Amino acid sequence: MGKQNIFDNPEFFKGYIQLRETGNSYNEVLEQPAIHSLLPASLEGLEILDLGCGAGHFAKYCVNKGANRVEGVDLSENMLRLANRLNSHPQIVYKQIAVEDVHFTEDSFDLVVSSLVFHYIQDYKSLLKKVHSWLKPGGSLVFSCEHPVATARKEQGWIMDGKANKLYWPVDDYGDETERQFHWFVDGVKKYHRKVSTLINELLDTGFRIRRVLEPEPTLETLERRVDLVEAIRRPTFIVIRAAKD
């Protein structure tokens, strides 16, 4: 099982960094606010794991908010080089390893966060079992992934009329929970489509309790700046879930 490492593809990495640097990507204005809204009210003293930590911005945010220790895991050498340069801190440990391969001892973390990584994970159930074991009782998993409505159809994209207007978002093959290949800066980016019910039931079967499910929409203030984000109201873009280990 080769883990995907598109972030070390130079062409992909360049496109991705340029997108994130605008501060106006879907991540910045939709997904990150939703993740933040599901975090515990205080991070003071917490042990936190960030699965797919990228350039370490979230890890640094956590220590700034009083976290005791943050482990950041990412397979991409490019991303971890950035993390070490921009967001190093004595209480943060960055590990270059695939999310699927990392191991921790039981009851190690109060909080596990994973931002837009789970749709790249082939074996969702196995990862949940591991995360559940790494969490302390009462700890939480907060994660986001692309919304199943967004990943269902094998050709991804809006249906357009002849004048570049987006008519509607097409759904097909919703029940076909297999790999999808997309173009995102480069060809052949692999994602795993799962139904909403699968995302939730696998959590329940692992022993998690569902605490919140978000399908984030732009705020009015964001819409004023970026009217194109009305798309995220027309069809759900991300799903963000908080689940607790009882």
Q: Which residues would be at the binding site for a copy of itself (CB under 8 A)?
A: 149, 152-153, 159, 167-176, 195-197, 200-201, 204, 209-215, 217, 232-236, 239
In the bound state with a copy of itself, the residue whose beta carbon lies nearer, of 21 and 155, is: 155
In the bound state with a copy of itself, the residue whose beta carbon lies nearer, of 107 and 217, is: 217
Largest distance between two CA atoms of the chain: 56
CB of 174 vs a copy of itself, minimal distance in Å? 5
Structure-token pair, residue 225: 């700046």
CB of 227 vs a copy of itself, minimal distance in Å? 15
Contact 22, 224 (CB under 8 A): no
DSSP state of 13: H
CB atoms within 10 A of CB 189: 16
* CA distance linking residue 76 with residue 95, whole number of Å: 10
Structure-token pair, residue 24: 């106006």
For residue 20, give Cα distances in angstroms to 72, 194, 242: 19, 26, 24
Contact 74, 60 (CB under 8 A): no
In the bound state with a copy of itself, the residue whose beta carbon lies nearer, of 92 and 152, is: 152
Q: SS3 for 113?
A: strand
CB of 98 vs a copy of itself, minimal distance in Å? 29
Which residues, 6+ apart, have CB-to-CB distance to 100 below 8 Å? 1, 3, 121, 122, 123, 126, 127
In the bound state with a copy of itself, the residue whose beta carbon lies nearer, of 100 and 231, is: 231
CB of 148 vs a copy of itself, minimal distance in Å? 9
Amino acid at 172: D
CB of 5 vs a copy of itself, minimal distance in Å? 32
Structure-token pair, residue 41: 């009210």
In the bound state with a copy of itself, the residue whose beta carbon lies nearer, of 34 and 117, is: 34
Structure-token pair, residue 119: 């749709």
In the bound state with a copy of itself, the residue whose beta carbon lies nearer, of 118 and 169, is: 169
CB of 170 vs a copy of itself, minimal distance in Å? 4
Q: SS3 for 110?
A: strand
CB of 111 vs a copy of itself, minimal distance in Å? 19
In the bound state with a copy of itself, the residue whose beta carbon lies nearer, of 86 and 233, is: 233
Q: Give which of 194, 185, 113, 187 is closest to 150, Cα–Cα.
A: 194
